[in-house]
Structures are given as C-alpha cells and as structure tokens.
Amino acid sequence: MRILVAPSCARRIKRFHPNQKKSLDKVIKTISNDPTIGEEKIGDLEGIFIHKFRMGNERWLLAYRLVSAQEVKLLLVGPHENFYRELKKD
C-alpha cells in the first residue's frame, strides 16, 4: 500500500517528537493493512475516514482518504480539539 501525505499533515508530523512519530507509524501500518478501519464520514466530509487512537494520555485523530485500491492519502493528524474545523478548512 502506498501512503501519500498532504503538505499540511507533513508539516505537523515534522514537529512531532521521536516517540510520537513511532506511535503514528504504528497507526499508519494499521491503516495500510486495513484502510477501512477508520470511520467514514458523511455530509460535507464525505469520502474521508477518521481513525481514533491514543498518543500518551490524549485522544488523537488521523484523517485520510482512499485515493485508489493501493493508495491512501493522509490529510490531517492532531488532537480532538478543533480537529474537524481544521479539516474542513483544508
């Protein structure tokens, strides 16, 4: 499975600590094994999947879109607070 990363997502990941990057890598591997593991959104976020996971003591969300059968594009990663507002903005 090929993983594409949106520029806004790449900028956020770049600022992560090494242990946060390891946690995110595990989540990305899980998604690459089963891309439908996330919850598919409806309405104005149709076609976007959200996978919820824990990083430390916080709940984080990872938004991604299935580009094709072999490609997943990561759109946004971050804590739950204001996540959907930022996702709609991008």
Q: Please say whether the beta carbons of 75 and 63 come within 8 A.
A: yes
Find the domain containing 18 and state its range.
2-89
The pTM for the full model equals: 0.92
**Can you give the CATH number for the domain in which 64 is found?**
3.30.2310.20
Nearest alpha carbon to residue 47 among 72, 13, 83: 72
Q: What are phi and psi of 51, to 5 degrees?
A: -110, 125
Rg for the chain, CA atoms, rounded: 12
How many domains in the chain? Answer: 1
pLDDT in tens, 33-89: 999 999 999 999 999 999 999 998 999 999 999 999 899 999 999 999 999 999 998
Residue with tokens 């946004």: 76
